[in-house]
C-alpha cells in the first residue's frame, strides 16, 4: 500500500527538534515501511546468577479518568531542551539542551539549577544508570555517548557508537544501555559496567527512540523513516518482530501494568497501541493536538502523557480506555517526557521556550500564586496586592497561598517604570498559578530644535555619548529621568548657541533650542535659505575635505605643467638634431 509523503519543509522542522543530523537524514522524504534485515545473535547480557525468566505483570491500577492534571511548576534550563533523566539517588534532573550543547542539572526539590555540564554537539536522548551512578547522553551531531559521573557532575567517559545517536533505553537488571543510531540504522548495546559496546543490532530506517520492557525482556525501537517498530530480544540481541505503525514514529513508552506499548506518530498525528505479548496493533488513538513527539507512562494513575510539539500541549491518555481524557497547556514545542514515579509527576521538555514544565495531578490546597517580575534593577522593591493583602519583595518573586477560587490583584507603581499587567484576576483550580509582571523603564523625549541654518544643512547633537544627525529643523532623542551632557556641531562656518550644555529629564519631555549664526566674514548658503545672503568663510575655518580637494587640484596642475614642459623640450631637441646633419652640397653644373 502506498503512503502519502509530507513536504520536506515540514519534515525539516519536525526533526530539527531532535537534531540537525535527523534533518539531513530525512531530507529525501518518508517512503513506505520496509522489512528489517535479520540480526546476528549476540551474547547474553544477564550477569552470573541472574534469571532470564520475565517477571509477571501486576494488575493495572484502577481507572483514573476523573483525575485532573495540570502544571505544578516550571523552570528554565538551557537552549532547546529535548529530553531529561531523573537521578533517584540525589533527586536531580538532567536535561539535555540540544542548541546550547550542554546538560542542565536541576534540583527537583527546589526547581533550581545546580550546575551545567558541557556535552557533545546537539545532545538529545539521556538516561540514568543507578548501578553506576551515571547519566548517559547521546550526542546526535558530534556522535558518541557522553557518560556523566553524578558524584563529580563531569563527563568521565565517552563511548563511540553508530552514526547520529539519538534515543536511549535501559535494562536495569543487566545494566545494559541500548542506543538508537539514526544515521547508521542500527542499535548499539553498551555494557554499563565497562562503558563499552558489546553488540550492534540492525534496526529499521532511521531508528530514533527506544524503550525497554522488563516483562518481555524486549527493546522496542521506533524507526522514523520506515514507519515501524523493531522488537529486539534483549537477551539474544535478535530482532523478533517488525510492527507497522503510523508515519514518523518518534517516541516509545511501555505500559508495564497492562502489557501494552505506546508509539506516537508525528506525521500521522496519532498514537499506536501494541500488545506486548503478541506484538499486534490493538488500537490507534487520534491525537487531539498536533505533532506528537515524546511520551511516557504514569504507572501511579495508569495514564500515558504525550507531548504535542505543534500545539504546545500534553495529551493525557487513559490506559484503561485508550482514549484522551485531558489536555494540559505547557511550554512552547514540548518534545520530551520523563515520568518520575516516586514524585508522581512528569517533566515536559519545552524546546522552543527553553524550560521544563512539571505536570502532575492536583495537590492538596493551599496553592501557590507566584508573581514574578522582570525589568527592574536588581534589589529594587516592588509590591503586589492580592484580595486586599499586600506582599512585597526586593527579589524576583512575590508568593501568596490560596485555596481554589478567583482573586483580584494589583501591582503598585514603581517610579520611572511602566508595569504590565498592572491589575487583573486569577483563578486557582487545584494547581499553582504564576503571573509574569513586566516593568519597562519610562523614556521621555528630548527635542532639539534649530534655527539659523540654511536649508538641508547637516547638523548633529551628541547626547551622553550617542550622536544623532539630521538636515531638518529638529532632532528627537529619548532618555529616562536624569541629567545628560550634550554637544552641538554643524558642517558650515556657523556658531552654535549653546554649543554644549546639560539637560535634565524629570518625568516629562524636554525641548532645547539651538540658534546658529554665521561667523563674521563667513556664513553659508545662498539667498532664500534659512540663513539668507551669501558669503565665503575664511580659509582658517575650512574643513579638512576642502583642503584635501585643493591639494589634489594643485597636484594635478603641477603634473600638467611638468608634462607640457617635457613635451616641449623633447620637440626642441628633435628640431636641433635635424638642422645639424651637415652642409648642403652645392648644386651640380
Same domain, 415 and 526: no
Same domain, 449 and 429: no
Question: How many domains does the chain fold into?
Answer: 3
Instruction: Identify the band that residue 523 occupies on the pLDDT scale cut at 50, 70 and 90.
Output: very low
Same domain, 357 and 373: no
Strands 270-275, 281-286: pairing kind: antiparallel
Q: What is the pLDDT of residue 361?
A: 84
- Of 292, 327, 361, at which residue does a domain stop? 361
Strand partners, 261: 254, 274
Which of 87-101, 222-236, 456-470, 534-548 shows the lowest per-residue confidence on average (mean pLDDT)?
A: 534-548
Instruction: Identify the band that residue 32 occupies on the pLDDT scale cut at 50, 70 and 90.
Output: very low
CATH of the domain at 418: 2.60.40.1120
- Of 426, 441, 456, at which residue does a domain stop? 441
Check: CB of residue 348 under 8 Å from CB of residue 330. Answer: yes
d(CA 545, CA 529): 23
Q: What is the pLDDT of residues 189-210, one digit of tens each?
A: 999 999 999 999 999 999 999 9
* Whole-number CA gyration radius for the chain: 38
Same domain, 139 and 198: yes
Which of 31-40, 364-373, 531-540 shows the lowest per-residue confidence on average (mean pLDDT)?
A: 31-40
More confident residue, 146 or 257: 146
Residue 233 placed within a domain: yes
Q: What is the mean pLDDT of the chain?
A: 82
CATH of the domain at 120: 2.130.10.10
Instruction: Identify the band that residue 526 occupies on the pLDDT scale cut at 50, 70 and 90.
Output: very low
- When pLDDT is averaged across residues 31-36 and rounded to a whole number, the result is 33
- When pLDDT is averaged across residues 539-562 and rounded to a whole number, the result is 66
- Of 310, 328, 361, at which residue does a domain stop? 361
Residue 575 placed within a domain: no
Residue 129 placed within a domain: yes
- When pLDDT is averaged across residues 450-462 and rounded to a whole number, the result is 93
Which of 31-35, 171-175, 419-423, 433-437 shows the lowest per-residue confidence on average (mean pLDDT)?
A: 31-35
Q: What is the pLDDT of residue 544?
A: 60
Q: What is the pLDDT of residue 66?
A: 56
Residue 59 placed within a domain: no
d(CA 133, CA 150): 6
Same domain, 324 and 416: no
- When pLDDT is averaged across residues 148-163 and rounded to a whole number, the result is 95
Burial label for 407, CB within 10 Å (0-12, 13-18, 19+), is middle
The residue range of the domain holding 514 is 444-541
Residue 549 placed within a domain: no
Report the length, in residues, of the chain: 589
Q: Nearest CA to 272 among 236, 313, 220? A: 220
Residue 194 placed within a domain: yes
Strand partners, 305: 296, 316
Same domain, 300 and 422: no
More confident residue, 577 or 173: 173
Q: What is the pLDDT of residues 216-238, one digit of tens each?
A: 999 999 999 999 999 999 999 99
Check: CB of residue 130 under 8 Å from CB of residue 89. Answer: yes
Residue 326 placed within a domain: yes
For residue 537, is pLDDT > 50?
Answer: no
- When pLDDT is averaged across residues 317-326 and rounded to a whole number, the result is 89
Residue 43 placed within a domain: no
CATH of the domain at 506: 2.60.40.10
Same domain, 428 and 469: no
Same domain, 372 and 490: no
Same domain, 250 and 310: yes
d(CA 296, CA 253): 5
Does the pTM surpass 0.75? The reply is no
Q: What is the pLDDT of residue 548?
A: 66
Q: What is the pLDDT of residue 521?
A: 58
Same domain, 270 and 380: no
Instruction: Identify the band that residue 587 occupies on the pLDDT scale cut at 50, 70 and 90.
Output: very low
Which of 18-32, 274-288, 369-383 shows the lowest per-residue confidence on average (mean pLDDT)?
A: 18-32
Which of 305-309, 377-381, 559-563 shows the lowest per-residue confidence on average (mean pLDDT)?
A: 559-563
Q: What is the pLDDT of residues 353-387, one digit of tens each?
A: 999 999 988 777 888 899 999 999 999 999 999 99
d(CA 354, CA 121): 17
Which of 12-21, 280-289, 369-378, 544-553 shows the lowest per-residue confidence on average (mean pLDDT)?
A: 12-21
Q: What is the pLDDT of residue 547?
A: 65
Same domain, 182 and 289: yes
In sequence order, the 6+-apart residues with CB closer than 8 A to the CB of 387 are 402, 407, 408, 409
Same domain, 24 and 131: yes
Amino acid at each position: 500500500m502506498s503512503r502519502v509523503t509530507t513536504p520536506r519543509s515540514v519534515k525539516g522542522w519536525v526533526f530539527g527538534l531532535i537534531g540537525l543530523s535527523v534533518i539531513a537524514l530525512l531530507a529525501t522524504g518518508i517512503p513506505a515501511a520496509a522489512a528489517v534485515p535479520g540480526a546476528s545473535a549476540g551474547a547474553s547480557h544477564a550477569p552470573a546468577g541472574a534469571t532470564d525468566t520475565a517477571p509477571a505483570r501486576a494488575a493495572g491500577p484502577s481507572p483514573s479518568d476523573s483525575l485532573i492534571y495540570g502544571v505544578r511548576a516550571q523552570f528554565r534550563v538551557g537552549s532547546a531542551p529535548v529530553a531529561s533523566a531523573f537521578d533517584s539517588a540525589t533527586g536531580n534532573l538532567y536535561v539535555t539542551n540540544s542548541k546550547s550543547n550542554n546538560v542542565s542539572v536541576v534540583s527537583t526539590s527546589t526547581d533550581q539549577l545546580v550546575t551545567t555540564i558541557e556535552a557533545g554537539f546537539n545532545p538529545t536522548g539521556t538516561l540514568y544508570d543507578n548501578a553506576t551512578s551515571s547519566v548517559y547522553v547521546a550526542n546526535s551531531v558530534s556522535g558518541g555517548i557522553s557518560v556523566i559521573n553524578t558524584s563529580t557532575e563531569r563527563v568521565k567517559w565517552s563511548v563511540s557508537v553508530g552514526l547520529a545517536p539519538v534515543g536511549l533505553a535501559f535494562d536495569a537488571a543487566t545494566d545494559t544501555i541500548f542506543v538508537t543510531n539514526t544515521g547508521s540504522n542500527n542499535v548499539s548495546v553498551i555494557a554499563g559496567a565497562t562503558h563499552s559496546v558489546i553488540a550492534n543490532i540492525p534496526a529499521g530506517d532511521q531508528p530514533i527512540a527506544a524503550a525497554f520492557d522488563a516483562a518481555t525482556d524486549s527493546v522496542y525501537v521506533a524507526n522514523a523513516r520506515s514507519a515501524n517498530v523493531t522488537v529486539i530480544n534483549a537477551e539474544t540481541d535478535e530482532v523478533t518482530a517488525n510492527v507497522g505503525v503510523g508515519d514518523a514514529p518518534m517516541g516509545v513508552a511501555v505500559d508495564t501494568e497492562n502489557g501494552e506499548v505506546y508509539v506516537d506518530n508525528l506525521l500521522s498525528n496519532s498514537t499506536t497501541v501494541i500488545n506486548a505479548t503478541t506484538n499486534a496493533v490493538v488500537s490507534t488513538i487520534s491525537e487531539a493536538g498536533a505533532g506528537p513527539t515524546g511520551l511516557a507512562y504514569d504507572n501511579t494513575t495508569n495514564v500515558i502523557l504525550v507531548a504535542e510539539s505543534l500545539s504546545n500541549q500534553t495529551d493525557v491518555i487513559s490506559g484503561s480506555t485508550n482514549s484522551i481524557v485531558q489536555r494540559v497547556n505547557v511550554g512552547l514545542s514540548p518534545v520530551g517526557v520523563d515520568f518520575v514515579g516516586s514524585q508522581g509527576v512528569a517533566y515536559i521538555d519545552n524546546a522552543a521556550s527553553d524550560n521544563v514544565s512539571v505536570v502532575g495531578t492536583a495537590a492538596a490546597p493551599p496553592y501557590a500564586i507566584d508573581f514574578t517580575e522582570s525589568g527592574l534593577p536588581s534589589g529594587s522593591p516592588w509590591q503586589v496586592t492580592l484580595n486586599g493583602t499586600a506582599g512585597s519583595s526586593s527579589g524576583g518573586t512575590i508568593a501568596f497561598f490560596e485555596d481554589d477560587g478567583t482573586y483580584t490583584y494589583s501591582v503598585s507603581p514603581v517610579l520611572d517604570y511602566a508595569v504590565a499587567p498592572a491589575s487583573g484576576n486569577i483563578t486557582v483550580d487545584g494547581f499553582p498559578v504564576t503571573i509574569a509582571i513586566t516593568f519597562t523603564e519610562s523614556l521621555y523625549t528630548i527635542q532639539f530644535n534649530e534655527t539659523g541654518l540654511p536649508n538641508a544643512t547637516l547638523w548633529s547633537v551628541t547626547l551622553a555619548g550617542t550622536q544623532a544627525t539630521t538636515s531638518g529643523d529638529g532632532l528627537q532623542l529619548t532618555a529616562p529621568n536624569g541629567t545628560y551632557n550634550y554637544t552641538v556641531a554643524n558642517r558650515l562656518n556657523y556658531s552654535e548657541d549653546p554649543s554644549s550644555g546639560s539637560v535634565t529629564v524629570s518625568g516629562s519631555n524636554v525641548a532645547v533650542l539651538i540658534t546658529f549664526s554665521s561667523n563674521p566674514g563667513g556664513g553659508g548658503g545662498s539667498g532664500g535659505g534659512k540663513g539668507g545672503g551669501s558669503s565665503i568663510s575664511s580659509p582658517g575655518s575650512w574643513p579638512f575635505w576642502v583642503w584635501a580637494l585643493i591639494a589634489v587640484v594643485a597636484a594635478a596642475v603641477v603634473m600638467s605643467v611638468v608634462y607640457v614642459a617635457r613635451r616641449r623640450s623633447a620637440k626642441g631637441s628633435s628640431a636641433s638634431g635635424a638642422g645639424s646633419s651637415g652642409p648642403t652640397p652645392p648644386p651640380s653644373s
